[in-house]
Each structure stands twice: as C-alpha cells, then as structure tokens.
Amino acid sequence: MKTGNHPAKTNAYHHGNLRQSLVDSAVAILEHSGVPGLSLRAVAKASGVSQAAPYSHFSNKQSLLAEVARVGYVRFCERMARELDRDDNRLVGLGKGYVFFALENPALFHLMFSGELAQLVNVDEIDDAFLQGYQMLVDVIAENPLTQFGSDLPHLDTAYAWSVVHGIATLILGNQISAKRYNLNTDEELVEKMLEKYFSATEEVT
Amino acid sequence: MKTGNHPAKTNAYHHGNLRQSLVDSAVAILEHSGVPGLSLRAVAKASGVSQAAPYSHFSNKQSLLAEVARVGYVRFCERMARELDRDDNRLVGLGKGYVFFALENPALFHLMFSGELAQLVNVDEIDDAFLQGYQMLVDVIAENPLTQFGSDLPHLDTAYAWSVVHGIATLILGNQISAKRYNLNTDEELVEKMLEKYFSATEEVT
DNA sequence: CGACTTATCTTAGCGATGTCAAGATCGACG
DNA sequence: CGTCGATCTTGACATCGCTAAGATAAGTCG
C-alpha cells in the first residue's frame, strides 16, 4: 500500500519520510479517485500509517492539500513550458499548455484554483512555482503585446489572457463547452482553434 | 427556524410544502454560510423537519443541490437581463451581468458551475433557465458579430465570449485577479474596464 | 553504557455528515 | 369507518476531520 519512496526509512514504526510520502499518496489518489476520494484516512492508509499520523506533519487537511496544490503548480509550469516553444505564437502555445494541463489533470487543476485554498495559497503570498507560471504569461505578453485591443491599460492584458484560457479550461471541465458541439473530434482540437483565432492577431505590431 | 412559506401547510406533522421550503432554506444557508455550511441536516432543521425528511422529496443531497442550482440559473438570467440594456454595447452589458452575479452570489455561482452537478445539470439536458441564459449570449453575438477576430468559425464566438466572462468571474472569486493589483477601487470597476476594452471593437461591422 | 528528551506514530474516541431501515402519522378515498 | 399511500420521525451505520493519551524509537548527553 505504500507509495514506495522511503529513502530515509528506519523501521516499521517510524516511517522515515512520511511527509513526502503523504503528499505523493494524495496526488496519486487525486488522480485516479478525484476530490471525493481524497480523505485524510485514505491518504494515511495509502502511505501505510494510521489515521492520525499525518497530524505529525500537517496541522490539518488543508495544509496537506496546499502541499498537493504546490506539486500541481510545478507540473503546471512544466506543462506550459513544454508547449511554449512548439507554437509560432508563443501566447497560443502558453495557452495550450494551460488548458491541456487542466484537461489532463482535472482534479488537480480544480484543487489548485477552486479558491478553497485561497487563504493559504493566493497570489500575494504564493510559492515560487505559481509565480513562475504567472511570470511566463507576463513575459510572453510583454514580448508580444495585444495591440489589437488598443494600447491603453496594457497591464490589463495579462489578466485578460489569463481569463480567456482559464475560462476555456473551466468550461470544458464543467462540460459546458465540448468539442462535439462544434463538430470537432477532441477537446484539444477545440482549444487549438479557439486560441489560434482569438490570440493570433498580433502581426501588425512588428 | 422555518423559512416562512408554507402555503399548503396542513398540520405540525405533515409540512405541506416541504420540497419548496427545503430549496429555499438551502439557498438561504448557501448565501450566508457558503458551501461548507450547507449540510442536509442543517437544511432540514432550517425547514423545521427531521434529518431524514428530505429523502421523501429528493433521492439524495445532489438532487437537492441541483434544484438549488436551478434557482441560481433563474436569478442569473434575471441579473444578466437587468444589465443587458444599460450598456451601449449589449455584449459588454451581458458580460457585466454575468460577472456581477458571480461576485454577488459567490457560493451559488460556484455550485452552479463547479461541475460536481455536471452529471445532473449539463448543457445537453439542462433546464429552461440555463438555456435561456445561453440563448441571450447567442442572440447578442448574432446581432453584433465579433468580426474583429475574423469571420471564420463564427459559431466559436459564443464559446469565446463565454470563456472570457467566466474566466474573469472565476479568477476574481479565487482571488487570483483583484482590483487592487490594477490600482482600482472595486472589482466592479475592473470588470467594466476589461469588458469595455476587450468586447468593444465591433464598430466596423455596421 | 545508560538515562533523559523529543519527534513520530498508534489507539481510542468525539461530533458531524450522508444515507438507510423501520415505524408513526395523517389526509384521501372507497 | 377502514384501508392505503404519501409523508415524516426515530434510530442507527459507516465515514469523515480532528484531538487526547500513550507507546515507540532515535538522538543526545552524562
């Protein structure tokens, strides 16, 4: 039942690396059982310890979930970075990475942005992974301004671009928007078509 | 503790109009206690009945929540309709109504679009209120096409406009976007500025 | 080496939750 | 009046997050 990574394991009683193991177990449970299956007791059992053991490493369930979200932010940035250079328009690429991550990790994405962890994880006192992702967007917008909307309030463009991709991701996950409504085969195709159409009018800048 | 509306009440044992009363109680609890305070037992107590009474009218908690979401859709449409004609650009007005509703009813909005009720309430087999709201958007886009993005795939424009307003609403609710980051006083001001900038380039159509 | 300290983990239990089974109540209808 | 079906109550079960009390073992210091 253990997740397998106990590098500092010492004996059967003391786990050795329980904190990290709990986070890994939680991520694994979240991926194949979703949010409803993610109970503290299930996480503890998956790591081979008793129900109350997590409280030696996390003050409560929210603290564990904040760690899980942090893992999510790291993977999120990696996913966006992977897609960033595969597109002629870097903003389109960044957007694809954003939405694709959401589609590939629905439960994790929901946890990261549900706002239930907003007290612990918000933009003001956020961890580095989240800020790194936000900085990607700021940089891409800076190197390729959205002048098709005019040059007033240029700093709003980051919030706008973020809203577009976040809205697409959320609505697809909630089944309010789907590929078959637009006679497309996959949601990925829908995302590409939307981002290419609504993020691409930046040629006139040069 | 009762919500007050028992028009068909018959006696102390049989409530008379429990189904509607439960929905009303749930909406009220959701508004001033949020999702975490919305337990079936609390709803039952607020309507003055025992814990298991709701199961005579709803198969489970999700069924009740689906009813609550339906109430939310009705109010949602009313809110958008109220804002629709107050703007020169009707799309901007519709968007304001969309986001303002989310800001004014955060818990209800979250319930309506969280996707947890997606099996019960989706766009395919949705109730009239939801479809009415979607039709508002379709009509506004039809009478004022977003030709600034080109005229190919025009049916994607509804999904795009929806994504923009939904993304703005969700990110503000999750505290990822806020007015003070843009030196504005209120979130409403931020919403207006964004929608006017990114939804207004439709003059060249006429 | 041996005793003390501290972090870690277990067992037991509390209150709250969603849900179900059994039975009580009462209006409607013959 | 008597039966029936819908409605509601009581009581219970499993699970949940969380806490208290105590067991275990690793580290430290004499």
Residue A80, pLDDT score: 97
Residue A82, pLDDT score: 96
Q: How far is A53 from chain B (nearest CA, A)?
A: 25
- Give the Cα separation of A75 and A95 in Å (integer): 15
Name the CATH superfamily housing domain A61-205: Tetracycline Repressor, domain 2 (1.10.357.10)
Interface check for B177 against chain A (CB to CB < 8 A): the answer is yes
pLDDT band of residue B54 (cuts 50, 70, 90) is: very high
Nucleotide nearest to B11 (CA to C1'): C26
CB atoms within 10 A of CB B21: 24
Arithmetic mean of pLDDT, B60-85: 95
| Residue extents of the structural domains in chain B | 1-58, 69-205
Residue A10, pLDDT score: 54
Q: Identify the closest residue of chain A to B164 by CA–CA distance.
A: A164
Residue A151, pLDDT score: 83
Architecture of domain B69-205: Orthogonal Bundle (1.10)
Report DSSP letters for chain A, one per residue: ---S--TT---SSS-SSHHHHHHHHHHHHHHHHTGGG--HHHHHHHTTS-TTGGGGT-SSHHHHHHHHHHHHHHHHHHHHHHHHTTSSSHHHHHHHHHHHHHHH-HHHHHHHHSSTTTTTS-STT--HHHHHHHHHHHHHHHHS--GGG-SSSTTHHHHHHHHHHHHHHHHHHTTSS-GGGGT-S-HHHHHHHHHHHHH---GGG-
Nearest neighbour of A167 by CB, restricted to B114, B166, B190: B166
Q: Which of B81, B80, B58 shows the shortest CA–CA distance to B68?
A: B58
Arithmetic mean of pLDDT, B25-53: 97
Residues B74-128: pLDDT tens digits? 999 999 999 999 999 999 999 999 999 999 999 999 999 988 776 555 545 567 8
Residue A205, pLDDT score: 41
Residue B172 class from Cβ within 10 Å (0-12 exposed, 13-18 middle, 19+ buried)?
Answer: buried
Q: How far is B116 from chain A (nearest CA, A)?
A: 8
- Give the Cα separation of A159 and A162 in Å (integer): 5
Residue B121, pLDDT score: 54
Interface check for B145 against chain A (CB to CB < 8 A): the answer is no
Q: Do A176 and B201 touch (CB under 8 A)?
A: no
Q: What is the pLDDT along chain A (206 residues), one digit of tens a residue?
A: 334 443 445 566 677 799 999 999 999 999 999 999 999 999 999 999 999 999 999 999 999 999 999 999 999 999 999 999 999 999 999 999 999 999 999 999 999 998 877 655 554 556 788 889 999 999 999 998 998 888 888 889 999 999 999 999 999 999 899 999 899 999 999 999 999 999 986 444 43
Interface check for A198 against chain B (CB to CB < 8 A): the answer is yes
Name the CATH superfamily housing domain A1-58: Homeodomain-like (1.10.10.60)
Q: Which nucleotides of C are covered by protein (CB under 7 A)?
A: 7-13, 16-22, 25-27
The single residue listed with the structure tokens 């690396």 is A17
Nucleotide nearest to B36 (CA to C1'): C17
Is the distance between the Cβ of A13 and the closest atom of strand D smaller than 7 Å?
A: yes
